[in-house]
Amino acid sequence: MANRSYGQYCGLALALDRIGDRWTLLIVRELLPGPARFGELHQALPGIATNLLSRRLRDLEEAGLLERTTLPAPANVPVYELTALGRGLGPAVREISLWGVRFMEDAEFRRPANPRSMIMGMSVLASTLPLEGLDSTLHLLVDGYDISIVIDGEKAAFSLGAPTEPDALIETDYEPLVAVVNGRATPDELIADGQIVIGGDADAVVSFFELFRRARESMTVSA
């Protein structure tokens, strides 16, 4: 890593010495929701060669940003997991993502291999809004993947896995969810034709989808 250093006494340069290579921040994005196997990372990052992915993971490990661990039984599989130092990149990654959201309207949607990037996108949008008065736990089931969403009036936490005792269930697929988040369709339209199926507390579901409409409006005003 020293050979690729910018050699500058500057926080930005020192950060880029560690995370400025191509694919590196996308690997961090994939690991922010939780540990991942090598194959999951490779599948989620189409276009990266396996040897390059191995090199980036090794560089991140040497920089102290991730570590190799083994999931507990019954999984017992090796995974990559961010360290506390690596997780500290979360706010920076969210801010960069939020800056990039303005370019998504003209970008072609490509179905992700897993919901990790979707989790990041929803988390980024939710982070732009005050959440006072919102208190709910939602189970989002997207293309068979379980996502937990916990809103506590201050923040919205998105993570892989099904929550315990959720207030509501939202079952859908990637395309309908993206259409709602982007404002290309309303939840009512997609619920009516069966592309989104809900159960439990309908008000909690309405409040959740309302977050994205408010986020879009907020970004339009600030643009």
Query: What is the tens place of the pLDDT at every residue in 162-171?
Result: 999 999 999 9
> pLDDT for 19-52, tens place per residue?
999 999 999 999 998 899 999 999 999 999 999 9
Are 124 and 97 in contact by the 8 Å Cβ rule? The answer is yes
* Residue indicated by tokens 């939840």: 187
Give the model's confidence band at 183: pLDDT under 50 very low, under 70 low, under 90 confident, else very high.
Answer: confident
Cα–Cα distance measured from residue 89 to residue 71, given in angstroms and rounded to the nearest whole number = 23
- Residue-level pLDDT at 71: 85
Same fold, 2-88 and 114-222: no
- Residue-level pLDDT at 195: 97
Rounded to an integer, the average pLDDT of 70-98 is: 92
- Residue-level pLDDT at 222: 56
Which residues lie across from 18 on neighbouring strands? none
Rounded to an integer, the average pLDDT of 9-19 is: 95
Q: How much is the pTM?
A: 0.85
Q: Which residues have CB under 8 Å from 190's CB, separation 6+?
A: 172, 176, 179, 180, 196
Parse the chain into domains and list their residue ranges: 2-88, 114-222
DSSP 157: E
- Residue 155: count other Cβ atoms within 10 Å of its Cβ: 11
CATH node for 2-88: 1.10.10.10
Class of domain 114-222: alpha beta
Rounded to an integer, the average pLDDT of 73-91 is: 93
203-206: long-range contacts (C-beta < 8 A, 24 or more apart)?
Answer: 204/136, 204/138, 204/167, 204/168, 205/138, 205/168, 205/170
The pLDDT of residue 206 is above 80: yes
